[in-house]
Amino acid sequence: MSLISILHNPRCSKSRQTLALLQEKGIEPEVIEYLKTPLSTQALKGVFGKLNVEQVREMMRTKEAAYKELNLGAETVTDDMLFEAMVKEPKLIERPVVINGDSARIGRPPEAVLEIV
């Protein structure tokens, strides 16, 4: 059995609900508070590769003020620029993300993570 981890923000209700759901299922994931311990570009690219999304923006909080302030919605912004923005501003990462081996899911809704556990 592989180690299950969660990119978690304890201030986020969806993140708390997802963690509670996993615990109800008897799963104690490794909790990564990504705002306290930011991920590297390489780590973010690894998570992206495991998610069931096609575009980097799908793993981002596009309604965050920083997203608009940095003009990250512009067509000229590359994927590498988006990853760099998430490294510098971790609050731009959509949360929570549950990772299990080669698979990851965004917990919106929280039950979506059950596909991979």
For residue 7, give the H/E element and its range: strand 4-7
pLDDT attached to residue 1 = 46
pLDDT digits (tens, 9 = 90+) for 81-117: 999 999 999 999 999 999 999 999 999 999 999 999 9
What local confidence, expressed as pLDDT, does residue 100 receive? 97
* Residue-level pLDDT at 2: 59
**Among residues 117, 96, 85, 69, which one has the least CA distance to residue 12?**
96
pLDDT tens readout for residues 64-85: 999 999 999 999 999 999 999 9
User: Which domains are seen in the chain, by residue range?
Assistant: 4-116 (3.40.30.10)
Which secondary-structure segment (H or E) carries 98? strand 97-100
Q: pLDDT tens, 3-54? A: 999 999 999 999 999 999 999 999 999 999 999 999 999 999 999 999 999 9
Residue 7 tokens, joined: 């990119």
Calculate the alpha carbon distances from 10 to 16, 55, 65, 84, 109 in Å: 6, 26, 20, 23, 16
- SS3 of 95, please? coil
- The pLDDT, as a whole number, for residue 108 is 96
In the annotation, is 62 catalytic? no
Which candidate in 4, 12, 87, 116 is catalytic? 12
